[in-house]
Amino acid sequence: MKKRTLSLLLAALLLGAPLAACGSPDEPAPSGETDPVTETLPPETESDPEPERSFADFPSRNFGGAELRLGDTEQYDIYLFSYREEPKGEVLNDALYDAHRNVEEKLNVTIELELFSDPDQLSRAVMAGDDSCGIMTGRDLNMGTLALNGYLLDISRLEPIDFTAPWWPESAVSSYLINGSMLLFSNYMSYYGISRARAWFINKQLCADLGMTVPYEEIFAGTWTLDKLNAMMKAAYADTNGNGETDVGDTLAFVNDGIFLCMQPSMGIDTFVTGGDGKLAFAFDVERASLAVDKLYSMLFETAGVFQDVKEERLDRTVFASGRSLFFYESLGMTETVLRDSNVEYGILCTPKLDETQPDYIAGYTDYLHAVPKTVTDTALVGWGIEALAASGYYTIFPAFRDVCLTNRYTYDRESAKVISLIGEKMYVELAYTFSAKLANIFRKLLIDGSTDVASYYASHADEDLKLMEQINAKYGKN
């Protein structure tokens, strides 16, 4: 059985961490939970506690029993990250159930959930003028298309929405608020976002067996870079099965399945940024992107211990969980699923900087986003519903996920707890990916083909992305 430690410390570190938000769409749905853990370590420092607040402090409003209708998708069980039909005596399940019931009582509404079989079906319903839902949740790329085609309402105009409230993550607001308008949003209505913050996992025992040290010291010194990760990978390989080939029967550094979600923004490479005037500006740095792609190519294709999972069978998960790989790149939510029942004692690392000139670590993420269809008529109900659901999630769902899935059930050392806190402080979602910008996907497009020709790819797609940026700027602020 795994040793369980640091529940109190992790809770203290994560309490104020901003929400991030989605992972690759084939990630498994939420699953098991655990009983509370009694073994704890005290915080390293003490400070005066802030006044304790709860959803009870949220203002009440009487909507006379009206239906607040939510449209969500069954694909990949996304709805299970925000909704549960009944209590089961399990902490996370019951927190999700309570979060909606609390909103129903606070606003005197009935929350109704309509599930669509996939995000495309939900998108088609909105485009057809279907008014069956007031708040919808869908795949980021689908939602970006709806925003550009004018099917969504600007929620910045709705009362009592307050983007400065703690249940509105600063990182998501800064990304999705354009020209003073917000057509897509991410907040604490769901815990999907925080569960999909990207991180690197390291097999601590295998690291020690290879004569290496888990690089916590470098992380906290701000010197953890792609070159240092590369050096560790190149030193980690053993032909365990003796067949003279690199395969999943060996002791590996990494399994490369071609999934590079969130890696690009974590290297400080943006396609668009929001300027001081609130509009998007073109920001793609060809030189920096070329440097990153060269480093990643060396690490992934010129390292004996990296196995190429060309069929994308997600072997990285099973190989790491079985203890045969030093590194694993995925979301924090993997602790809740793939790693939950493994015997690997792992440490958690943030994504390294491109080099030491990068000012800060960046924890990239994507999200299944929320929006309000333009067909909505009762905007007061929807505005209050959004704000109440986000606040209830912040006070109810997020602590349950934090305490159950990132604290009590899994093995963490003190350093991993600090890394998780660091990740929480450095969340970043790239808006350009949501809108299918070509340059936002350059890592995947090149590296999956074994190419490093950033300049040619840029020359082929920059004009297209510039037109997309102009289209976004023209659309936002006019809804």
**Does residue 271 or residue 26 have the better pLDDT?**
271
**Per-residue model confidence as pLDDT tens digits over 73-96:** 888 888 999 999 999 998 899 999
Residue 39 in tokens: 């073994």
184 and 252 share a domain? Answer: no
Q: Assess whether 138 and 254 both reside in one domain.
A: no
Lowest mean pLDDT among 96-100, 316-320, 468-472: 316-320
Three-class SS of residue 264?
Answer: helix
Question: What average pLDDT does the chain have?
Answer: 86
Residue 408 has pLDDT above 80, yes or no: no
Residue 414 domain-assigned (yes or no): no
My answer on whether 332 and 385 are in the same domain is no
Give pLDDT tens digits for 234-250: 999 988 999 988 888 89
- Distance CA(358)–CA(339), nearest Å, equals 31
Query: CA torsion 117→118→123→124, rounded to 10°?
Result: -60
Grouping H, G, I as helix, E, B as strand and the rest as coil, residue 453 is: coil
Task: Determine what percent of the chain is predicted with pLDDT higher than 90.
Answer: 60
pLDDT above 70: residue 18? no
Start-end of H helices in 235-327: 263-266, 286-301, 315-321
Q: Residue 365: which H helix or E strand, with range? A: strand 363-365
pLDDT band for position 21 (cuts 50, 70, 90)? very low
CA–CA distance, 158 with 176 (Å, rounded to integer)? 16
- Judged against a pLDDT cut of 50, whether residue 14 lies above it is answered with no
- Assess whether 296 and 433 both reside in one domain: yes
**Which of the two residues, 52 and 321, has the higher pLDDT score?**
321
Residues 179 and 254 placed together within one structural domain of the fold: no
Which carries the bigger pLDDT value, residue 23 or residue 423? 423
pLDDT (0 to 100) of residue 297 = 94
Rounded CA separation 200/372 (Å): 35
Highest-confidence segment of 51-55, 228-232, 306-310? 228-232
Kindly report, residue by residue over 381-400, the tens digit of the pLDDT: 999 999 999 999 999 998 88
Residue 216 and residue 137 in one domain? no
| pLDDT tier at 406, thresholds 50, 70, 90 | low
**Beta-carbon count within 10 A of 144 CB:** 24
| One domain, residues 94 and 213 | no
Residues 177 and 258 in one domain: no
DSSP helix/strand/coil, 291:
helix
Last residue of a domain, one of 377, 409, 441: 409
Q: What is the pLDDT of residue 226?
A: 97
Q: Are residues 435 and 454 in the same domain?
A: yes
Model confidence at 108, in pLDDT bands (50, 70, 90)? very high
Q: Is the pLDDT of residue 264 over 90?
A: yes
Q: Are 238 and 252 contacting, i.e. CB atoms less than 8 angstroms apart?
A: no
185 and 226 in a single domain? The answer is no
Cα pseudo-dihedral 21, 24, 25, 31, rounded to 10: -70
Query: Average of pLDDT values for 113-141?
Result: 85
pLDDT band at 27 (very low <50, low <70, confident <90, very high): low
pLDDT at 32: 47
Predicted pLDDT at 59: 97
pLDDT at residue number 314: 78
Range scoring the smallest mean pLDDT among 40-49, 223-232, 239-248: 40-49
What is the per-residue pLDDT for 36? 36
What pLDDT is recorded for position 26? 46
Does residue 371 lie in a domain region? yes
In DSSP terms, 110 is beta-bridged to: 67
Considering its fold, how many domains does the chain have in total?
Answer: 2
Classify the phi-psi angles of 60: left when phi > 0, otherwise alpha if psi is within -120 to 50, otherwise beta: beta
Dihedral of the alpha carbons of 145, 146, 150, 153, in degrees to the nearest 10 = -140
Q: Residue 422 domain-assigned?
A: no
Residue 451: CA atoms inside 13 Å, Cβ hemisphere, count?
A: 12
Residue 228 shares a structural domain with residue 91 = no
> In the chain, pLDDT over 70 holds for what percent of residues?
86
- pLDDT for 367 beyond 80: yes
Q: Where is the domain boundary, 352, 379, 409?
A: 409
Q: Whose CA is closest to 300, among 447, 441, 199? A: 447
Using pLDDT thresholds of 50, 70 and 90, give the confidence band for residue 305. very high
**Does 419 fall in a domain?**
no
What is the rounded average pLDDT of the residues 237-264?
A: 89
Question: What is d(CA 430, CA 412) in angstroms, rounded to the nearest whole number?
Answer: 29
Q: Is residue 392 one of the residues assigned to a domain?
A: yes
Distances (CA, A) of 447 to 189, 208, 355: 35, 30, 19
CATH of residue 389's domain is 3.40.190.10
Is it the case that residue 5 has pLDDT exceeding 60? Answer: no
Q: Is residue 210 part of a domain?
A: yes
Q: How confident is the model at residue 119 (pLDDT cuts 50, 70, 90)?
A: confident
- The answer, yes or no, to whether residue 174 has pLDDT greater than 50, is yes
Domain assignment present for 421 = no
The whole domain housing 316 covers 197-365+428-475
Q: How confident is the model at residue 37 (pLDDT cuts 50, 70, 90)?
A: very low
- What is the mean pLDDT of the segment spanning 174-195? 92
Query: Do 202 and 214 reside in the same domain of the chain?
Result: yes
The two structure tokens encoding residue 239: 């032909």
| 417 occurs within a structural domain | no
